[in-house]
Amino acid sequence: MFKRLSKIEMTDELKGVLDASPDLVIPTSKEELVRLTFGSYHVNANEVSYTVGDKRVQEATVVRCKNGIVVNYMEDYMRRRDPNSMLIGDDKPTDKVRFEERYPDMTFPQVRKETMDWLSRHDLIVLPFLAGGKGGYDALLVCPVNAAFFATGLADLQYFINIDELDRQFKPRAIIYVAPPFRHTHFEGKQVVVHSRQDHAHEVFSYNLYPGPSAKKGVYAVLLDIGEQEGWVTAHTSAVRVVTPYQNETVIMHEGASGGGKSEILEQAHTDSEGMLVLGENLNSGEIDRLALSETCELLPICDDMATCYTYLQDDSGKLVLTDGEDGWFLRVDNIKKYGTDYNYEDITIHTKEPLVFFNVQGAPGSTCLIWEHTIDSTGKPCPNPRVIIPRRLIPNIQSEPVAVDVRSFGVRMPPSTKKNPNYGIMGLMQVVPPALAWLWRLVSPRGHNNPSIVDTAGMSSEGVGSYWPFATGKMVRHANLLLDQIKNAYNTNYVLIPNQHIGVYKVGFAPEWAAREFLARVGAGPIKKSFLTPARCAILGYNLTDLRVDGQYVRKTYLQPEMQPELGKSGYDAGAKILTDFFKEEVKKYLTDDLDPQGRKIIECCLNDGTLEDYEALL
C-alpha cells in the first residue's frame, strides 16, 4: 500500500487523512471494486447507511444481479440531480452561489475541516482516474468503503487508472471527497456539492451519493474550470457519425440542456410493432402520423454527453473538432419501457461482458436487471430518471479519434401549444439558424418542458451558456466569449434547432431528431440550400424547412411550419413566439458586461431590439 501511495503526489493534509484511516484500499481492477461494493463475493445485497446523531440512516440499497450492480435510493429526491446543488467554497472569481451565501451560519473552511476529520475516521477507497477520459487530467476519488458502488460507477464514467501499472508520478489536478452523512447533519437533507478551486487541485466535496452532481457533473465542472483557464470548452453534447445507405458520412453534434435529446440522437429510431416511426400524434383528434423507414442510416457513436474541444485539436477544415470527454456514458433509459425498444442497449446491458452499474431500476439478487423495469417512486409512478453506466469499450462501432463536426444541432423540450392554450412549443421539426442565432440559443439554453433528469419546477427556465452553465464554477461572460470564438472559428459547421416532446398540437417525443438525422445525412455536409428554406415568423427560430423527405416520404408541412396547424394557427404561433422572445430578452441581459466580446454585444442588442433574421445573418 505504501508503494502505491508513494506514486500519488498529495498535500500533507490529505496524507494525514489517509494515514489516520483505519483501513485504506487503492483498487487496481473493476473486479476489486465490485467485491468491495458487497464486502464479499458471497454477499448479493447490501444496505448503505451511516450514523447520524444517535440513529442509523439508510441512503441506498445495492443489489448484485447477473449483469451488474443495481443501486436504489430511499428517497425520490435522491433519484435525480438537484440543479441547485453546486456551491463555491473558495474566494476565486465566480458567478455562482458561494457556500456562505446559502449557509450564512457556517463557513466552508470549518465544514471542510469537519469533512476531512470524518473521512480520517472511516475505512476509505482512494481511486486514481483521469478526468476527461483517456488523455485527460490526473484526478483522485476519496470515499468511504461502504460507498464502493459510487467508486465503481466513477471508475466506469472516467478513465480508471491501475496505479501499479503507472510508470510516472500521479499528480491529481482534481480530488473528489465523498461524505454522505453531512447531507443530514449540515444541509437539511439536500444534495450539496461544494467546489473549492485550490492552487494544488480543484477539490469537489460531495455530500450525497447520487453520482449526477459529483462523479458526473462535478468532473464536468473540473474540465470547464481547466478550459476557462486555458481557452477551450467542454461542450454539453452528444455526437454521431451518420453513414447513409450510399456510404455518405455526416457528423452531427447534438447539444442541449438536460433532457434535450443528447442520448437519443445516438439511438436508432424507435418504431412501433409494424416497424414504423411514429412521427406524431394530434392531441386533439388522436390522429397519428407514421413514417416507414426501410433504409435507415448506420450510426457510429462518438460521445454521449460531454465533448472536449481542445484548441490543439482544431485544424484547417473550418469545422469544430471534438473528442469524447468521458470513458463511460451515464445513459438515461426512461424512454425504454418494454423489450424491443432499443435492441442495441438492451443487448449491451443484458448480455454484458462485464458488470454494469444501474440506478433507479428494479433488481433482485441473482436476477438479470432489465432497463425497462424502472423503480417506482412514492407517487406510484415509475422514476423518470432510470440510469445505467456503459463504458465506451462496450459500445459497438464507437469512434475514438477526434472528429470534425458538419452539423451542430440544439435540442429543446417543447410543451403542447394551441391557439386556446398558447405556449412556446412553436418550433418546427427542424429550424436552420445562422451562427449568430446559434450562439444566442447557447447563451439561453432553455431547459424546457417536463425535464426528467433533474428536480425541477414547472415552466421554462434557462441552463445558460452552452447548456453547461449549471456545472461551471467561473464567470458566465468568460464562457460566452469562449463559445463565440468557437463558433467564429468553425465557419464551415452548420447550425440547426430540433424540438422534442411537442410541435404545436402534435405529441412527437424524440421522433423529430430521428427524422432530421436521416434528412441531414442525405443532404450531406454542406449548407442546406436556400430553396428548401423560408424565414420563420419568429426571427430567433431562423428558417423553417419548406419540404422534408425521409426515405422517399414527405413529412407534412404542419410539422415544418407549425402555424399551418389549424389548432395553432398564426395567432397561437405569434402568442408562443412572444413568450419565447420575451424569455430570451430577459435571459441575455445578464451577459451585457464590460467583459463581453463587442461582436457578442451586437448580437444581444439585436435580440433586445427585435432584430430580423437578416440582421442576425449580417452580424456573424
User: What pLDDT sits at residue 39?
Assistant: 87
User: What DSSP state is assigned to residue 394?
Assistant: G
Q: What's the whole-number mean pLDDT along residues 400-405?
A: 96
Give yes or no for residue 456 having a pLDDT over 80.
Answer: no
Give yes or no for residue 455 having a pLDDT over 70.
Answer: no
Nearest to 404 by CA among 253, 243, 235: 253
Give yes or no for residue 453 having a pLDDT over 70.
Answer: no
Per-residue pLDDT band for 450 (boundaries 50, 70, 90) equals: low
Indicate if the alpha-carbon torsion angle 520, 522, 528, 530 is positive or negative: negative
Mean pLDDT over each residue of the chain, to the nearest integer: 94
Per this entry, what is the length of the chain? 620
CB neighbourhood size of 459 (10 A): 12
* 330 sits in which H/E element: strand 328-332
Q: What's the whole-number mean pLDDT along residues 35-46?
A: 88
pLDDT tens, position by position, 70-109? 999 999 999 999 989 999 999 999 999 999 999 999 999 9
Q: What's the whole-number mean pLDDT along residues 184-198?
A: 97
pLDDT tens, position by position, 434-449? 999 999 999 999 977 6
Q: What's the whole-number mean pLDDT along residues 16-32?
A: 96
pLDDT tens, position by position, 147-180? 999 999 999 999 999 999 999 999 999 999 999 9
User: What pLDDT sits at residue 73?
Assistant: 98
Q: What's the whole-number mean pLDDT along residues 220-245?
A: 96
Which of 10-14, 217-221, 291-295, 537-541 is predicted with the least confidence, judged by mean pLDDT? 291-295
What are φ and ψ of residue 98, in 5° steps? Answer: -85, 155
Nearest to 271 by CA among 511, 555, 517: 511
* Residue 206 cell numbers, joined: 460531495
Give yes or no for residue 15 having a pLDDT over 90.
Answer: yes
Percent of the chain with pLDDT over 90: 87
Q: Name residue, grid cell 480530488.
A: 175
User: What pLDDT sits at residue 491?
Assistant: 95
User: What pLDDT sits at residue 452?
Assistant: 55
* Residue 62 cell numbers, joined: 445495492
User: What DSSP state is assigned to residue 8?
Assistant: B
According to the 3-state scheme, what is the secondary structure of 209-277?
Answer: CCCHHHHHHHHHHHHHHHHHHHCCEEEEEEEEEEECCCCCEEEEEEEECCCCCCCHHHCCCCECCCCEE
pLDDT tens, position by position, 472-530? 999 999 999 999 999 999 999 999 999 999 999 999 999 999 999 999 998 877 788 88
Q: What's the whole-number mean pLDDT along residues 546-567?
A: 94
Distance, C-alpha 375 to centroid of its chain? 21
CA distance 380 to 13: 47
Per-residue pLDDT band for 459 (boundaries 50, 70, 90) equals: low
User: What pLDDT sits at residue 604?
Assistant: 98
User: What DSSP state is assigned to residue 120?
Assistant: H
User: What pLDDT sits at residue 192?
Assistant: 98
* Burial grade of 529 (CB within 10 A; 0-12, 13-18, 19 or more): exposed
Give yes or no for residue 138 having a pLDDT over 60.
Answer: yes
Q: Name residue, grid cell 456539492.
A: 193
Give yes or no for residue 602 having a pLDDT over 70.
Answer: yes
User: What pLDDT sits at residue 458?
Assistant: 52
Residue ranges of domains in the chain, CATH in brackets = 2-43+79-230 (3.40.449.10), 234-320+405-619 (3.90.228.20)
